[in-house]
């Protein structure tokens, strides 16, 4: 881990240095509950290796992203929202509401969802 990432809260969760309720993990992916849930099911799905945001995704991330979405579908089933429906969203940049600059997808479900998200 580079020095700049030691202050990244999600890198600290991955390293076991900060607490989180982890619901699933693989070699490359971690899924844990958002500490400020905005839906009955609100899980953050993230790569263990630091990527700042979706703006930094390149072709080398293809396998990791495929695994991330497989994990998301697994978590949706485990959290019993597979039938009722769920949403995955990643805020990219402060103007879109990104507040943690370690790539993550919000997996949300358990209530009806408005569109477009505001
Ligand atoms: P963003 O605003 O970047 O799209 O999403 C960041 C999310 O991370 C927010 O929903 C916020 O509640 C959550 N979050 C921030 N810090 C922590 C933390 O230390 N632990 C957990 N579990 N969630 C966090
Ligand atoms: Zn990080």
Residue 104 appears among annotated catalytic residues: yes
Locate the domains of the chain by residue range. Answer: 5-109
Q: How far apart are CA 41 and CA 103, in angstroms?
A: 19
Q: How far apart are CA 105 and CA 88, in angstroms?
A: 6
Protein residue whose Cα sits closest to atom 19 of ligand 1: 9
Question: Ligand 1 pocket, 99 CB below 6 A?
Answer: yes
Tokens of 64: 């990791």
Looking at domain 5-109, which of 3.10.310.10, 3.30.428.10, 3.40.190.10, 3.40.50.2300 is its CATH number?
A: 3.30.428.10
Question: Ligand 1 pocket, 95 CB below 6 A?
Answer: no
How far apart are the CA of 43 and the centre of ligand 1, in A?
Answer: 10
Provide the pLDDT for residue 2: 45
Provide the pLDDT for residue 47: 98
pLDDT in tens, the chain (118 residues): 444 567 999 999 999 999 999 999 999 999 999 999 999 999 999 999 999 999 999 999 999 999 999 999 999 999 999 999 999 999 999 999 999 999 999 999 999 999 999 8
How far apart are the CA of 90 and the centre of ligand 2, in A?
Answer: 15
Provide the pLDDT for residue 1: 41
């Amino acid at each position: 881990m580079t020095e700049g990432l030691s202050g990244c809260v999600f890198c600290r969760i991955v390293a076991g240095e900060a607490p989180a309720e982890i619901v699933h993990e693989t070699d490359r992916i971690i899924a844990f509950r958002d500490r400020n849930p905005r839906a009955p099911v609100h899980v953050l799905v993230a790569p263990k290796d630091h990527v700042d945001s979706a703006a930094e995704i390149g072709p080398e991330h293809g396998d990791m992203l495929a695994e991330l979405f497989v994990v998301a579908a697994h978590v949706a089933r485990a959290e019993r929202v597979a039938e009722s429906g769920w949403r995955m969203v990643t805020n990219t940049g402060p103007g879109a509401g990104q507040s943690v600059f370690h790539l993550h997808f919000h997996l949300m479900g358990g209530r009806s969802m408005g569109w477009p998200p505001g």
